[in-house]
Structure 1
Amino acid sequence: MTIHVEDLKFQCIIGILDFERIKKQDVIVNLTINYNYENGFINYADIVQIVKENMTKSEFFLIEDALNSLNLKLIKEYNSINNIKIKITKPSILPDCKVSVGNHYKSQS
Structure 2
Amino acid sequence: MIFSIIIEKLEFETIIGILPLEREKTQKILVEGIFEYESQEFLDYVVLKDMIKNLFIKNQYLLLEDAIQDIAKHLKKHFSCLKSIEMSIKKLEILQDCIVGIKTKIIF
Aligned length, in residue pairs:
106
Q: Which letter does structure 1 place at the counterpart of 2:107? A: K
Identity of aligned residues (%): 31
Match of 1:61 in 2: 62
Q: Distance in 2 between matches of 1:8 and 1:98?
A: 15
Match of 2:12 in 1: 10
TM-score (norm: length of structure 1): 0.95
Match of 2:106 in 1: 105
Q: Which letter does structure 1 place at the counterpart of 2:52? A: V
Shift of 1:17: 0.4
Structure 2 unaligned runs (5+)?
A: none
Q: Distance in 2 between matches of 1:100 and 1:16?
A: 14
Superposition CA RMSD, Å: 0.6
Q: Distance in 2 between matches of 1:104 and 1:16?
A: 23
Q: Which letter does structure 2 place at the counterpart of 1:4? A: I
3-state SS in 1 of match to 2:93: strand
**Aligned pairs for 1:23-62 within 5 A:** 23-38=25-40, 40-62=41-63
Match of 1:72 in 2: 73
Shift of 1:102: 1.2
Q: Which letter does structure 2 place at the counterpart of 1:6? A: E
Runs of 4+ aligned residues of structure 1 deviating over 4 Å after TM superposition are: none
Q: Distance in 2 between matches of 1:73 and 1:87?
A: 16
Shift of 1:100: 1.1
Q: Which letter does structure 1 place at the counterpart of 2:28? A: D
TM-score (norm: length of structure 2): 0.96
Q: Deviations over 1:14-53 (max 9, x none)?
A: 0000010000000100010000011x21011101100011
